[in-house]
Structure 1
Amino acid sequence: MPTLLLSLETSSPVCSVALHRVADGTLVGQSELRLEKSHSSHLSVLVNQLLENTLHTLQDVAAVAVSDGPGSYTGLRIGAAAAKGLCYALDIPLLAVSTLQSLAHQVATYTAQPEQYLYCPMLDARRMEVYTALYRHDGAEVLAPTPLVLDETALAEHLAHHSLLFFGSGATKFYPLVANNARAGFLPGIEPSAIAVGALGVAAYQRQEFQNVAYYEPFYLKEVYTTTPKNKAGL
């Protein structure tokens, strides 16, 4: 009987995969690769190597959890395509886990007295914009995922009443704007991980919060705009 949840995290430059036991959430193994634009060529290799190293096969996988976004458009597309392909081939459920919520879970899990803070993951969205949200230590959503232009007034209402921890690829842009605020804490080096995706994915699996494999699309948060090169447009 399949007993494992396979998790894929491709929303950032880090390509990460993990295996958890669906019965109790125990981490079985994890692997990641930190190479720019490596997801399309290395994701399946990481999955196969992880299964081999943990003495398992794809037939042991009961479901696949994928980082749902926001994040890199290309990375999310690659992760979603891989997850859907596995679910189709193995006839197993698909789970989608918020990238921002998994980042917050990742930090809250290792924070002393976690109930004292609100958790604010920030993903770089270019210029002075980030994708962000606010969560309590138990995962409860305080501010829904949103694109946010950073200035001195950003999140001021929340900072007036709570201590906030900021982390993720976009947090460094916010630091100079609120560095003197004692309620604002910054944690460097926090990146999306399949371990956190898997931990939340196990909980979603037990609640049977499955996606429609045929129609699932990642949560991009903002519409993706593309342009046609001039030589292709006849200009």
Structure 2
Amino acid sequence: MALLLQIETATTACSVALAQNGNLLVVKELNERNIHAEVITLFIEEVMTTSGKQLSELDGIAVSSGPGSYTGLRIGVSTAKGLCFALDKPLIAIETLQAMAAGISSSINDTDVLLCPMIDARRMEVYTAIFDIQGDRVKSTSAEIIDENSFAELLHHQKVLFFGDGAAKCKTVLSQQPNALFDDNFINSARHLTSPAAHRFTTAQFEDLAYFEPFYLKDFVAGKKA
């Protein structure tokens, strides 16, 4: 197995973790907007110092690859790629929604419930996908505008757990559905990359450093100045 540095910056949370052999060793994180560029390298240094490990001992670097915040993803992926180039280590990319599903699945006792991670994409739009409790994809990743008819077919006959920073704003719309469940406490974390990153390392699913880009899902649109 491997010693992996894990980076999560796709949402408001800036999080760095270190895992070995699929087990979390250390995590440093802060859930606050617009602080990623300021703290990401400090968090990496703190995680390595706390663990007593050296960067040269790493076997690879895993990063949450999106969808999510355009700026956050750029910061996380550029940091991960820079470390991979400098240390000559492989890059492992984990889709953010997949990592979220992996992170929450261990706390779910109902094997029939579906998992619907949601990332805020402003207004009533979210980035989302649906997974079963084993982590298999049921619905592909997409940008969805949520209304009272969203997921109606699934919710008609199956329980769906909605979580992530996009789920809170959808709660008032979807909570009338008896099969709609909500986790209000879930926060994105680099710790959620541990299991999928370990699997990808074992199976040598690495990215091409020269060409890898974050999974934005939608084109970036800059706001107009007043």
Q: TM-score, normalised by structure 2?
A: 0.96
Q: Report the equivalent of 1:169.
A: 165
Q: Report the equivalent of 1:66.
A: 63
Q: Does the 8 Å CA contact 2:2/2:198 hold for their aligned counterparts?
A: no
Q: Report the equivalent of 1:139.
A: 135
Structure 1 gaps, min length 5: 231-235
Q: Report the equivalent of 2:216.
A: 220
Q: How does 1:43-122 map to 2 (within 5 A)?
A: 43-113=40-110, 115-122=111-118
Identity between Structure 1 and Structure 2 (%)? 38
Out of 180, 195, 204, which is 1:208 matched to? 204
Q: Does the 8 Å CA contact 1:3/1:60 hold for their aligned counterparts?
A: no
Q: Does 1:129 align with 2:128?
A: no
Per-residue CA distance 1:144-163 (angstroms, 9 max, x = gap): 11000111111111111211
Structure 2 gaps, min length 5: none
Q: Aligned-pair distance for 1:227?
A: 5.8
Q: Aligned-pair distance for 1:41?
A: 1.6
Q: Report the equivalent of 1:182.
A: 178
Distance in 2 of aligned mates of 1:207 and 1:4: 15
Which protein has the larger Cα radius of gyration, Structure 1 or Structure 2? 1
The one-letter amino acid paired with 1:148 is E
Q: Aligned-pair distance for 1:111?
A: 1.0
Distance in 2 of aligned mates of 1:105 and 1:3: 19
Q: Aligned-pair distance for 1:204?
A: 0.8
- Aligned structure 1 segments of 4 or more residues deviating by more than 3 angstroms: 227-230
The one-letter amino acid paired with 1:63 is G
Distance in 2 of aligned mates of 1:27 and 1:197: 10
Q: Does 1:195 align with 2:191?
A: yes
Q: Report the equivalent of 1:233.
A: none
RMSD of aligned alpha carbons = 1.5
Q: Does the 8 Å CA contact 1:130/1:148 hold for their aligned counterparts?
A: yes
Q: Report the equivalent of 2:3.
A: 4
